[in-house]
Structure 1
């Protein structure tokens, strides 16, 4: 199937009262596993390439082309997205990479500078048909960001959206990037307040650390794009480790990559089913 613009997938999810999942790609097998999981669930997905993943590969071209090829060969609707981009030159490569959306991350700047840089990214994207997501508040990394003081304020978020013209906003509501345990407690009242205040879709980052029930509630409260990365890596690495522990003489990487790719697909399918269940309850 042809690539589908991210903005279309997000808008379809918003109108249907559900969330669309965005999964991070590091290797070709990640992309293949994500597409397989989406096909099993019968739902669309977004393939995300982070700036860190691009640095790992040295260039975005090969992994973006591979992801695009996987998407075209899938029976599911799939879009390509650049995630947590701080380098404006990388952001501006989106059209040549067949990427329809970019999350520009200016969250390390103070508010005024974040607005300035994000507005520049959004203005550039609007003239080229590239859907721009941004972040306000501090979702946080491995050390977590669960304290109320780092969370996104609805009125400030509205001012930010109005000032920048972004198409979607990632907000800090209690999740954190790179969590390896499902222990995040989300502020669902804040999600509802943000959803009712803002004219753009909300994005939940750090969803790997969110328990299933919390994820369901987040989708019901107004999260429209749900980002998942670490959960795929846990599934992939665990399957690899298990296979090699049980088969120490194997040297053909295809033997352990296959179950690892399948583990990614299982995780994707399960996540999509959780989000589909949330939509069914909401509707």
Structure 2
């Protein structure tokens, strides 16, 4: 099937789930679950994943696109948390229909300037541009406190000044959580939804319980990003297999159950759709 485009999925899928890809097994697991659920999804590659692959986007992007094209599900490709201008510009050559350009570490005025430039570049190429305002936390140097949450008035101004197509907001989730104990500020989500004219994105969703996710979606979250939950399932399956079969050396033996475990994790999120 031809690759779907993020812009179209954002208007037709509510919510739209986006899952991080680090290895080909991640992409295959996401596609398998999306096919079984008959649900669209986004396969997203982060700048950190590109760094893991030696800074070379091409191999992982090519493999992920191939998985998506041979799937019967509606799947789009997205670059996530991109700070490098060089990597942003690589999106156009690698089938990505959307990019999350992350200038959230910068002061507000610098964030606006850098993001507006990224938006202009992306729109000339029909690429959807997502950005972040506030600090979602869970990355080096971040502090996950109420004081860094996204202000609705500032968010509305930011959307107008940058022209972004979607906005990641800080409402209580945090990246890299392995326990699902996060509590979201649903009142803030509703206020943001009223103030901001573009789709809202929830990052760090792996740490958010199902009930909290459902409330967030009802309050106005449109796109839900999931990464750590897949890695937790993947690693747990590999660990369990090798503990039970310590003499195994063929990686296919333990990567197969790891891929299945990731597919189950993806399916659980897609059932919230």
Measured against the shorter chain, the TM-score band is over 0.9
Matched, 1:10 2:7: no
Secondary structure of the 1:93 match is helix
Match of 1:186 in 2: 184
Shift of 1:141: 1.3
Which of 91, 113, 116 is the aligned partner of 1:116?
113
Match of 1:65 in 2: 62
Distance in structure 1 (CA, Å) of the matches to 2:38 and 2:244:
33
Matched, 1:95 2:83: no
Unaligned stretches of 5+ residues in structure 1: 277-283
Which of 237, 247, 262 is the aligned partner of 2:260?
262
Map of 1:244-283 to 2, 5 A cutoff? Answer: 244-274=242-272, 276=273
Secondary structure of the 2:65 match is helix
Matched, 1:212 2:210: yes
Map of 1:144-163 to 2, 5 A cutoff? Answer: 145-163=143-161
Matched, 1:21 2:17: yes
Matched, 1:50 2:62: no
Secondary structure of the 2:176 match is coil
Q: 1:60-91: CA deviations, max 9, x gaps?
A: 00100000000011110000000000001110
TM-score (norm. length: structure 1):
0.94
TM-score (norm. length: structure 2):
0.98
Matched, 1:80 2:80: no
CA RMSD of aligned residues (A): 1.0
Q: Is the 8 A contact 2:138 2:144 kept in 1?
A: no
Shift of 1:239: 0.2
Shift of 1:145: 4.9
Distance in structure 1 (CA, Å) of the matches to 2:6 and 2:236:
30
Shift of 1:147: 2.4
Q: Is the 8 A contact 1:145 1:175 kept in 2?
A: no
Distance in structure 2 (CA, Å) of the matches to 1:140 and 1:24:
17
Distance in structure 2 (CA, Å) of the matches to 1:107 and 1:142:
12
Secondary structure of the 1:135 match is strand
Distance in structure 1 (CA, Å) of the matches to 2:245 and 2:218:
44
Q: Is the 8 A contact 1:175 1:205 kept in 2?
A: yes
Shift of 1:197: 1.1
Unaligned stretches of 5+ residues in structure 2: none
